[in-house]
Amino acid sequence: MGIEFQNVNKTYPDGTVAVDQFSLHVPSHTSTVLLGSSGCGKTTLLRMVNRMVDPSSGAVLIDDEDVAGVEPVALRRRIGYVMQNSGLLPHRRVIDNIATVSRLNGVAKAAAHRRAHELMETVGLDSALAQRYPGQLSGGQQQRVGVARGLAADPNILLMDEPFGAVDPLVRLELQRELTRIQSELHKTIIFVTHDIDEALTLGDQIVVLKKGGEVAQIGTPQQIVESPADDFVAQFLGLDSARRTLSAAPRDDGGWFVSDAQGRPLGVVDSLPQHPGQNA
Amino acid sequence: MAWILDHLPRILELSLAHLLLAAPAIAAAFLVAVPIAWAANRVRPLREIVVSGTGLLYAVPSLPLFIVLPIILGTGVRDTLNVIVALTIFGLALMVRSAADALDSVDGGVRLASTAVGYSAALRFFTVELPLAGPALLAGLRVVSVSTISLVSVSAVLGVQSLGSLFTDGFERGIVPSIVAGIAFTAVLALLLDLLLVAAGRLTMPWVKGGRR
Amino acid sequence: MNHVIDAFELLADPDAWGGPGGFGARTLEHLWYTALALLISAVIALPAGLVIGHTGRGRALAVISTGMVRALPTLGLITLAALFLGIGLTAPMIAFVVLAVPSIIAGAYAGVESVNPVTVDAAKAQGMSRWQVLTRVEIPLGLPLIIGGLRNAALQVVATATLAAYVGAGGLGRQLFLGLRTQDYAMMLAASIAVILLAIVLDASFEVTQRLLRRVPGLA
């Protein structure tokens, strides 16, 4: 069960190969992050799931059913989609934006609005904002509305395309925390696209590091990837060879250890350092 | 076709009359519109007035204007001056707006940089802003040229001689070729003037590749 | 100046307004022509323009036809139609429609094209069908420009309708040509002023509609 990419390939008419022979299993109720810089085909892969893009060859399966056989409009209505710059309808109020998919699915207006109000609470939006238009909200608030809209039809799958890419770093951290909380309650199957390593490490149960053309550099848990990067590309991409992630510890006067990075920037303290299994004290 | 060949001297004569009404109006509209647009861009409240004013002019139908204008000008309805002024007003209605947009589109950074290196306001206008706005101004001028050429013929119902006379004569005497010739020669005239403007644009703005459509 | 006074006296005279050939009936006739021409043109041009905007196909054709119509002398079109179809409403109506259609098409496709592609993409990704994207996103968001196209078309028709009296159509142009033929400058002037006022009022009502629309948040 879950989402399965089977040898998918996407070649555009002009000959550009966006994705070449990509395979991946996304387990149900977990979040998978597609991590890579621009041009690695991560958004193309994401959009294959709800058929915004159809693969040139290969197949995408949801719970063992090939999506190619599902009518795109119906498919999209049962998959949540959250994108950068929110993509909200500027001429509809917040409440109606969130209720869009429910209304498309034929839910009565009152019920759709009730559901939308619940979702506003879920994503941490003040219900006073319900009657505002998207243009009257801050960037962070708009993204919350985007998340709420993605959740409106109670989809099993949530596709997130750099949803927090356009908000400032502080708001971004807050939205990431919020998403972690929501996921711990709802357990959706999430595919999350980002080029931000820290975001990937925070949000992914599974991380897929991509090179150009959708070539997989490494698949693993955040810990596996940081602990043992598959190759120089991954190490470099994560910044493991840079000063930022090369940590050192120094004993503190009143016990414990003081941790800093290679530039000497203080990061925090730890009570004790675990002994490396292969090392003699 | 035979009709056209038989009446070619008359048609060419009317074409010339047509051009002599249109060309001064097009030139005048351009020369008056640019300073108005420049002033409108400098003084914002003026811009509001100019934009809505030209919008209002645009709404006025041509034939009634040909008739009302003599009250102000003190001319007769059939005077060449009356027709030219009316056509100029219609040209302005189109040109002021597009000239204001053209001058406004000049990159603020370029403007600032040229001021910084010591251009005076006047020098900067003629050597920096006007040339840079050139392609957009030309695009506006071409629209004015085409629509003026087509508007001239309306004055024929008042008895003013132009290619429009081929329409009135043709209608009154039931000669279809006369009307067809009128439409064809109006189109040819519009095309020739347009090509002339494009050529003038190439000559004065050699840095613009291929000309702008 | 006497002519001006005469013209305004004529416009203020209830007798000149009443009756089947009076200013009142001619104004209504003028409006009726405009409304009918606009309706016919809109039925043809709105779907065409919306499809061009939605699919991006046929755009070049639309641009070229708009340019060609601008170059087309209206008087030539009207007299030609009248010679073929005779005196009556059909000939001028065909001319009005030919002149109005390109403006409406241009407004419609410009309106649809003006909608932010991100918004359209998002609407598709939420599961809107093409029809729903068009009717719930592209048309409402493009409305100010779509109405702008209708506005230009309406002005074009009002102006051309005045000219159409030359080939026997009704409307305020009838009064104008009556004055022209009888050398009655006051009459010509009165009719001209009436047409200009009619055009300005019509234009202003479109302006008000567009302004009201712009007040709706999200519509630019």
Residue A228's SS3 state is coil
C110-128 mean pLDDT: 90
Rg value, chain C, Cα: 20
Contact B168 C79 (CB under 8 A): yes
| C3 contacts on B by Cβ (under 8 Å) | 71
**Banded model confidence at residue A5, pLDDT cuts 50, 70, 90:** very high
Q: What is the pLDDT of residues A182-194, one digit of tens each?
A: 898 889 999 999 9
Region of poorest pLDDT, from A71-85, C10-24, C93-107, C188-202: C10-24
- Chains within contact range of chain A (3+ C-beta pairs < 8 Å): C
Provide the domain count of chain A.
2
pLDDT digits (tens, 9 = 90+) for A63-88: 989 999 999 999 998 899 998 877 88
Residues A126 and A197 in one domain: yes
Is the C-alpha dihedral spanning A205, A211, A212, A214 positive or negative? negative
Same-domain status, A166 and A268: no
- pLDDT, residue A114, reads 92
* Residue C48, min C-alpha distance to chain A (Å): 24
- Mean pLDDT, residues B160-181 taken together: 88
- Same structural domain for residues A57 and A133? yes
Return the HEC string of A45-72: HHHHHCCCCCCCEEEEEECCEEHHHCCH
The dotted CATH code for C24-215 is 1.10.3720.10
pLDDT digits (tens, 9 = 90+) for A155-198: 899 999 998 888 888 888 888 998 999 898 889 999 999 988 88
**B118/B87: higher pLDDT:** B87
Please name the chains neighbouring B, where neighbouring means 3+ C-beta pairs under 8 angstroms.
C
In 3D space, the residue among C111, C78, C114 whose CA is nearest the CA of residue C97 turns out to be C78
Q: DSSP letter string over A56-120?
A: SEEEEEETTEEGGGS-HHHHHHTEEEEETT----TTS-HHHHHHHHHHHTT--HHHHHHHHHHHH
Residue C39's pLDDT band (boundaries 50, 70, 90)? very high
CB contact under 8 A, C124 and A91: no
Q: Can you tell me the distance from the alpha carbon of A164 to that of A139, in angstroms, rounded to the nearest whole number?
A: 9
pLDDT bracket for residue B212 (50, 70, 90): very low
Q: What is the pLDDT of residue A278?
A: 57
Amino acid sitting at position B28: A
**Is the predicted pLDDT of residue B210 greater than 70, yes or no?**
no
Which of C167, C191, C193 has its CB closest to that of B171? C167
Query: Given CB atoms, is C65 within the 8 Å cutoff of chain B?
Result: no
Which pLDDT band holds residue A281 (cuts at 50, 70, 90)?
Answer: very low
Q: What is the mean pLDDT of residues B27-40?
A: 89
A197 with A281, same domain? no
Q: Which residue, among A61, A100, A53, has the nearest Cα to A189 in the 3D structure?
A: A61
Task: State whether residue C201 sits within 8 Å of chain B by CB.
Answer: no
Query: Is C192 within 8 Å of chain B by CB?
Result: yes
Average pLDDT over residues A244-259: 79
Residue-wise pLDDT tens digits, C46-62: 999 998 888 888 888 88
**Span B97-106, average pLDDT:** 82
Overall pTM surpassing 0.95 (yes/no): no
Of A191-200, B112-121, B150-159, which range is least confident? B112-121
Residue B213: pLDDT band (50, 70, 90) is very low
Which residues lie across from C85 on neighbouring strands? none
Q: Residue ranges of the domains in chain C?
A: 24-215
* A156 & A261 share domain: no
One-letter amino acid of C185: Y
Residues A230 and A102 occupy one common structural domain: yes
pLDDT greater at residue A120 or residue A267:
A120
> Over 90: is that where the pLDDT of C10 sits?
no
Percentage of the residues of chain A whose pLDDT score is greater than 70: 96
In order of start, what are the domains of chain B with their CATH numbers?
2-204 (1.10.3720.10)
Contact C140 A91 (CB under 8 A): yes
N-to-C CA span, chain C:
46
Put simply, whether C199 touches B (Cβ < 8 Å) is: yes
Q: Quote the pLDDT of residue C171.
A: 84
User: Are A160 and A190 spatial neighbours (Cβ–Cβ below 8 Å)?
Assistant: yes
**Same-domain pairing of A278 and A225:** no
User: Could you give the ipTM of this predicted complex?
Assistant: 0.81
pLDDT surpassing 70 at residue C148: yes
B and C touch with 3+ CB pairs <8 Å, answer yes
Q: Where does the pLDDT of residue A51 fall: very low under 50, low under 70, confident under 90, or very high at 90 and above? A: very high
Tell me whether residues A87 and C119 touch, CB distance under 8 A: yes
C191 — pLDDT class (breaks 50, 70, 90): confident
Bigger pLDDT: C187 vs A118: A118
Tell me: pLDDT of A280 over 70: no
- Alpha carbons B106 and B101: distance in angstroms, whole number: 9
Classify strands A31-35 and A206-210 as parallel, antiparallel or unpaired.
parallel
DSSP conformation class of A275? P
Q: Angle B176-204/C74-85 helices, nearest 10 degrees?
A: 160
DSSP 3-state assignment of A260?
strand
Nearest CA in chain C to B193: C71
Which domain does A275 fall in, by range? 248-281
Smallest CA–CA distance from C216 into chain A, residue: A91
Nearest chain A CA: its distance from C60 CA (Å): 22
| Facing residue for C127 by CB, picked from A73, A92, A133 | A73
Residues A174 and A221 in one domain: yes
Please provide the distance, in angstroms rounded to a whole number, between the alpha carbons at the two ends of chain B.
32
Within 8 A of C125 by CB-CB distance, chain A residues are 47, 50, 52, 76, 81, 83, 87
Across the interface, do B167 and C203 touch by the CB < 8 Å criterion? no
Average pLDDT, chain B: 84
Q: Is the pLDDT confidence value at A14 over 50?
A: yes
Q: What is the CATH number of the domain that holds A152?
A: 3.40.50.300
CA angle A214, A215, A221 (to 5 degrees): 95
Binary contact (B170, C158; C-beta < 8 A) = no
Q: At residue C218, does pLDDT exceed 70? A: no
Question: Is the domain of A190 the same as that of A266?
Answer: no
Helix locations, chain B, DSSP H: 2-6, 8-42, 44-59, 62-73, 80-104, 108-116, 121-124, 130-152, 164-173, 176-204
| Interchain contact, C217 vs A85, CB within 8 Å | no
Amino acid identity of C5?
I
Does A99 lie in the same domain as A178?
Answer: yes
At B211, the pLDDT band (50, 70, 90 cuts) reads very low
Asked if A touches C (at least 3 Cβ pairs < 8 angstroms), the answer reads yes
- Asked whether residue A256 falls in the same domain as residue A160, the answer is no
Asked if B146 lies within 8 A of C71 by C-beta distance, the reply is yes
Q: For residue A232, give how far its alpha carbon lies from the nearest alpha carbon of chain C (Å).
A: 36
CB pairs under 8 A between B and C: 121
Chain C residues with CB inside 8 Å of A88's CB? 119, 122
- Give yes or no: residues A113 and A190 share one domain: yes
pLDDT in tens, C129-141: 999 999 999 999 8
Q: Choosing among C79, C175, C181, C193, which should be mutated to test the B contact, i.e. which has the most B CBs within 10 A?
A: C79
